[in-house]
Copies of this chain bind each other. A is one copy, B any other.
Amino acid sequence: MARHPTREQIELTDVLSALGNPLRLKIARVLDAHGERNCGSVLDAPISKSTLTHHWRVLRDAGVIWQKPSGRENLLSLRRDDLDARFPGLLDSVLRAPD
């Protein structure tokens, strides 16, 4: 189900596409600022759960986030180590940039 790419499998264009959506960029910023969250507590916006599930998948498949089951929750976190190792400086410049 949850197929996370290995560090070496993470592709630049996938990461850029994933973060090239305003909602997903926001998600990445929240995870960067606040650390691990469950799916329901990342955003306040009135977005349907099925839409969010879609965005978790895009971010996970691109290698931007980890998705770790924990009880009945699914904990989300940024793959900062892997992204920094593979694309040095990229995540910082994206997360710190103005919109």
Contacts and interface: CB of A to CB of B under 8 A. Distances in A.
Interface residues of A, number: 24
Contact of A21 (B13, B21, B87, B97): B13
Contacts of A93: 87-90, 93
25 contacts: A11-B99, A12-B25, A12-B97, A12-B98, A13-B19, A13-B20, A13-B22, A13-B99, A14-B20, A16-B16, A16-B17, A16-B19, A16-B20, A16-B94, A17-B21, A87-B93, A87-B94, A87-B97, A88-B93, A89-B89, A89-B92, A89-B93, A90-B90, A90-B94, A93-B93
Nearest to A21: B13
Nearest to A15: B20
Interface string A62-99: 00000000000000000000000011111011100111
Q: Assembly of this chain: how many copies?
A: 2
A41 B90 CA distance: 29
